Amino acid sequence: MNFATGWGFGSIVGLAQSGKVDLEAAQVMGNRINGKATVAVAPNADVDYTLGFYGPNAEEVAGAVWTNDPALEGASEIGFGGKR
C-alpha cells in the first residue's frame, strides 16, 4: 500500500487450494480498496477483492476475495487479514 499515491496491491500466499492470489493495483477510496485479483490455479478467472484498513495508522487489513467463476469451484471465497 502506498498512501502517498493512493494505490495498493499485494499477494496472499500459503493457500493450498487456490495457490498464490495476487491483489492487483487499485485505488484507495477512504479506508477501502476494491479491485481485481489473479489466482494461480485459474489465472484467467474473473476474481474480485475488497479490503479495509483498520487499527492505529492503518496497520491492519482485513478483506475477502471472491468469484463465481466455475474454474474455481470449491475455492470461491477467501477471507484474509494481516498486520504490518
H/E element holding 36? strand 32-39
Q: Which three cell numbers stand for residue 8?
A: 495498493
Residue 62 identity (one-letter amino acid): A
Whether 19 has a pLDDT exceeding 80, the answer reads yes
Q: For the chain, give the mean pLDDT.
A: 89
Question: Quick one: average pLDDT of 47-60?
Answer: 92
Record the pTM: 0.86
- CA–CA gap between residue 66 and residue 34 (Å, rounded): 12
> What is the structure's pLDDT at 10?
92
Give the residue extent of every domain in the chain.
Answer: 7-83
- CA–CA gap between residue 58 and residue 41 (Å, rounded): 31
The residue among 41, 9, 39 whose CA lies nearest residue 24 is 9
Dihedral sign for Cα 23, 28, 32, 36, please.
negative
